[in-house]
């Protein structure tokens, strides 16, 4: 059985003091949850405060992006190694906002996944189609292309530790959630795609759904056999909603 994994992407919200307060509230509210892996992804700036607050808790710290390189003349970038030393355990890589707004190509996303392994961060690789791609029936082609590039060069053992977040772009921040069956179909496709590796890979890889997940719709999504958790954006900023999502995952 795969352990459910709920991660909250705080995006560009919450300066350090506010992020610390949110982390403290979540730490208290979720202290008794043992059956779910939980992580939150603050901005780079708030990572030290949040990592200090969540040390010795059941909530891990994620970052929202990593640089490809280790160090050097890369203005504005933060390396996976630096994030690791700041207390980060997980890295969200290939989020659709990075792909659409900041030029992260499939190849760059693959390099960023490699950077995570180099530094010892657990990668959460985001994949998902846009609305025109879905309307053209291309969701599987797009997701397969993103998986191929994102996981290129990894050993089967490494792929077995990656979390895949299926995030249809048309459902992110739009309030338009994929139906549980729609999401489960693509998750099943992803698990089938992982069948090119030895069987433990498809068995172990956790596939999160992301796209307008809230306290009110989490149970329906998480009850699907191929949905192992959620990557949560807007609702991760609300203690009530995020706690409800984690509790839905705990069953």
Active site (catalytic) residues: 95, 167
Query: Smallest distance from the beta carbon of 213 to ligand PEP, in angstroms?
Result: 5
Q: Tokens representing 217?
A: 């719709």
Between 211 and 215, name the residue whose CB sits nearer to ligand PEP: 211
51 CA to centre of own chain: 18
Query: Smallest distance from the beta carbon of 38 to ligand PEP, in angstroms?
Result: 15
Locus of tokens 């900023």: 237
Q: Which residue is nearest to ligand PEP (CB)?
A: 233
Can you give the C-alpha Rg of the chain in angstroms?
Answer: 17
Query: Smallest distance from the beta carbon of 229 to ligand PEP, in angstroms?
Result: 12
Element (H, E) at 41: strand 37-41
Between 43 and 158, name the residue whose CB sits nearer to ligand PEP: 43
The rounded distance, in Å, linking the Cα atoms of 174 and 66 is: 26
Strand ranges inside the chain, DSSP E: 5-9, 37-41, 59-63, 90-93, 122-127, 163-166, 206-210, 229-232
User: Cβ–Cβ contacts within 10 Å for residue 29, how many?
Assistant: 15
Taking the alpha carbons at both ends of the chain, their separation in whole angstroms is 14
Query: Smallest distance from the beta carbon of 92 to ligand PEP, in angstroms?
Result: 8
Residue 156 and residue 201 in contact, taking contact as beta carbons nearer than 8 Å: yes
Q: Tokens representing 92?
A: 């969200």
Residue 162 and residue 93 in contact, taking contact as beta carbons nearer than 8 Å: no
The rounded distance, in Å, linking the Cα atoms of 59 and 104 is: 28
Between 2 and 13, name the residue whose CB sits nearer to ligand PEP: 13
Between 109 and 213, name the residue whose CB sits nearer to ligand PEP: 213
Query: Smallest distance from the beta carbon of 106 to ligand PEP, in angstroms?
Result: 18
Q: Which residues pair with 112 in a beta bridge?
A: none
Residues that bind ligand PEP (CB under 6 A): 9, 167, 172-173, 210-213, 231-235
Locus of tokens 């990075």: 98
Between 98 and 247, name the residue whose CB sits nearer to ligand PEP: 98
């Amino acid at each position: 059985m795969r352990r459910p994994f709920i991660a909250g992407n705080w995006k560009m919200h919450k300066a350090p003091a506010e992020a610390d307060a949110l982390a403290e509230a979540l730490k208290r509210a979720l202290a008794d949850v043992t059956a779910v892996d939980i992580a939150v992804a603050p901005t780079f700036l708030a990572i030290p405060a949040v990592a200090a607050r969540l040390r010795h808790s059941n909530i891990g710290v994620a970052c929202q992006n990593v640089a490809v390189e280790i160090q050097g003349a890369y203005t504005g970038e933060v390396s996976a190694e630096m994030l690791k030393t700041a207390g980060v355990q997980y890295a969200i890589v290939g989020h659709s906002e990075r792909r659409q707004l900041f030029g992260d190509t499939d190849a760059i996303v693959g390099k960023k996944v490699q950077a995570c392994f180099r530094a010892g961060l657990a990668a959460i690789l985001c994949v998902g189609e846009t609305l025109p791609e879905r309307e053209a029936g291309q969701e599987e082609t797009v997701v397969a292309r993103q998986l191929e590039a994102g996981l290129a060069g990894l050993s089967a053992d490494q792929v077995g530790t990656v979390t895949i977040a299926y995030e249809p772009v048309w459902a992110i921040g739009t309030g338009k959630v994929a139906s549980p069956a729609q999401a489960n179909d693509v998750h099943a496709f992803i698990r089938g795609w992982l069948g090119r590796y030895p069987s433990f890979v498809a068995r172990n890889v956790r596939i999160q759904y992301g796209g307008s997940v809230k306290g009110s719709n989490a149970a329906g999504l998480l009850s699907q056999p191929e949905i192992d958790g959620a990557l949560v954006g807007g609702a991760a900023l609300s203690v009530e909603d995020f706690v409800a999502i984690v509790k839905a995952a705990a069953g």
